[in-house]
Amino acid sequence: MHAVDCKALAEKITDEIHNETKSMDRKPVLAMFLVGKDPSSEIYIHKKEEQCIRAGIESRKIILSENITHRNLLAEIDKLNGNADIDAILIQLPLPKQIIEREALERIDPGKDVDCLHPLNFGLFCEYGSEEARVIPVTALAVMKILKECDAAIKGQDVVVVGSSNIAGKPIALMLVEKGATVTICHDKTKDLKRYTRKADILVVAAGKKHLVTKNMVKYGAIVIDVGINRENGIMRGDVDFDNVSEVASYVTPVPGGVGPITVATLLENVLRLSYRKQSNGIVPKPDIEII
Ligand code: NAD
């Protein structure tokens, strides 16, 4: 087991994508909806735009008013669904409260759903696994890439995932099961969280609660992957008390500079997958990139 430079890993993945895109007939195109003026969303979109340039992907940002009606947002999504130039569509979350998030995400053409949030794509991933899925949930893939890079044993290991959302906890748990781990999913109704986390060889935390995990909750030598992002007065903190937990864990991912940058790179991998698929008229070719 060794520590991973997550920023360098993200750059390596992005460069591998660039190697693929430069030999394609045309550049893949990612369209991103930014609805309203959420400062964090603006930062996330900007980071994706920057990395698209590095990966040889064209990005198009569609800025919509915070007051857009649900119906008008669906109409905007329909326009991009019907635009043959666009390979992949992303809706930056969260959305303003007048928008029914689930309906907006389900409106995206599944063939352009880069975040794997459409039920068809999530279903394909659950049923057939990451090798056969059209796209892979990006946070889960980022976690798996970190575990691979640090040579973590997964098969037969006891893994605890804290958080059970469709975006993070559930797909992370599924990918770990796929690789042979025995996985426990904890959430906000779990009684005595520590009872579970202390047994984990690998602990993945995606709860969105600053410093939820402290030193006394972690097994000696465990690998701890912190997915959480909590902003307080402009400072970003994880769900894990990094300094404290580093005293017992064999490796803890930092926040910022851990899972986050890799999630951008894995998102761009999905753009590549969707574009390959589209450019080959639905015959499913595989981009020459290793999943994990
Ligand atoms: P969510 O609110 O949808 O889900 C949170 C999950 O954590 C739920 O299952 C909830 O039951 C559980 N939880 C909350 N408080 C808990 C507690 N005290 N004890 C145990 N479980 C608890 O959030 P999400 O979208 O899954 O995101 C979770 C965190 O991960 C957020 O901080 C988010 O910003 C971050 N995130 C980061 C990335 C990345 O790229 N690094 C990607 C996705 C999400």
85 has catalytic annotation: no
92 has catalytic annotation: yes
192 has catalytic annotation: no
d(CA 207, ligand 1 centre) in Å: 3
Contact indicator for 261, 132 with CB cutoff of 8 Å: no
Render pLDDT for 44-79 as a digit per residue (tens, 0 to 9).
999 999 999 999 999 999 999 999 999 999 999 999
User: For a pocket test of ligand 1, which of 167, 193, 225 has the largest count of ligand atoms closer than 8 A to its C-beta?
Assistant: 167
Same-fold call for 24-111 versus 138-260 = yes
Look at residue 287 and tell me whether its pLDDT is greater than 90: no
In words, the CATH class of domain 24-111 is alpha beta
Per-residue pLDDT, 88 = 98
d(CA 78, ligand 1 centre) in Å: 30
The residue whose CA has the least distance to atom 43 of ligand 1 is 168
138-260 CATH, one of 3.30.1490.270, 3.50.50.60, 3.90.1010.10, 3.40.50.720 = 3.40.50.720
Q: Which residues contact 109 (CB under 8 A, 6 or more apart)?
A: 81, 89
d(CA 213, ligand 1 centre) in Å: 13
The residue whose CA has the least distance to atom 3 of ligand 1 is 165
Name the residue ranges covered by the structural domains of the chain: 24-111, 138-260
Render pLDDT for 169-200 as a digit per residue (tens, 0 to 9).
999 999 999 999 999 999 999 999 999 999 99
Burial of residue 208 (CB within 10 Å: 0-12, 13-18, 19+) is: middle
d(CA 292, ligand 1 centre) in Å: 23
Confidence of residue 280 (pLDDT cuts 50, 70, 90): confident
Catalytic residue among 87, 113, 115, 241: 115
Report the relative pairing of strands 251-252 and 202-205 from DSSP bridges.
unpaired
- This prediction has a pTM of 0.95
